Amino acid sequence: MPSTVRPEVVLLITKLDFSHPDIRTRPYHRDGRPFTRAERDLLVTFTPEEKAAAKAQMQLEAEWQRELDEMKDAFVDLLMKYFAKLPKGSVVDDAVAIMTDEDYAEFERLAEIVTAEDTLEYRALHEDN
């Protein structure tokens, strides 16, 4: 009989702070909060399938974070390419004003992603673009 993967358990595993100094005595969320009694009781019931699903999710999140970091670096590099041509004290609008059409299109694409309030949500909504 196939096992059912419970999303709430997978989510708990992905929220677990594996590097917390007190991890051996109680689980903590990545934001530093200790798990509640109910969360701990649910967490200890995880199955191998749920552990594998959580690991896969954490790998996807790490890959997404690497991609986002690369986009942020590309955004800064693009701006710096133009700031190098401008006098000290220039602002982003000055750099944008002298961009090529190709670089401006890239600036617009990257700006939407790296300045989004919740970039994970943005990527989920716009993945096919």
Whether 115 has a pLDDT exceeding 60, the answer reads yes
Q: Do 89 and 41 belong to one domain?
A: no
Please indicate, yes or no, if residue 97 is contained in any of the structural domains.
yes
Please indicate, yes or no, if residue 70 is contained in any of the structural domains.
yes
Tell me, yes or no, if the pTM score tops 0.85: no
User: Mind listing the pLDDT tens digit for each residue in 42-86?
Assistant: 999 999 999 999 999 999 999 988 998 999 999 999 999 999 999
Output the pLDDT for position 2: 55
Q: Do 19 and 79 belong to one domain?
A: no
| 34 vs 112, higher pLDDT | 34
Q: Do 68 and 107 belong to one domain?
A: yes
Whether 104 has a pLDDT exceeding 70, the answer reads yes
Q: Give the Å distances, CA to CA, from 31 to 20, 39, 46, 52.
A: 10, 15, 21, 23
Please indicate, yes or no, if residue 52 is contained in any of the structural domains.
no
Gyration radius (Cα) of the chain, Å: 21
Whether 129 has a pLDDT exceeding 70, the answer reads no
Q: Do 83 and 126 belong to one domain?
A: yes
User: Mind listing the pLDDT tens digit for each residue in 1-23?
Assistant: 456 899 999 999 999 998 998 88
Q: Give the Å distances, CA to CA, from 26 to 6, 35, 57.
A: 22, 8, 23
Token pair of 92 as six digits: 């982003």
Contacts of 41 (CB under 8 A, 6+ apart): none
Please indicate, yes or no, if residue 23 is contained in any of the structural domains.
yes
Q: Do 25 and 75 belong to one domain?
A: no
| Spatial distance between the Cα atoms of 129 and 123, rounded to a whole number of angstroms | 9
Q: Which domain holds residue 39?
A: 1-46
Weakest mean pLDDT among 18-27, 35-44, 118-127: 118-127
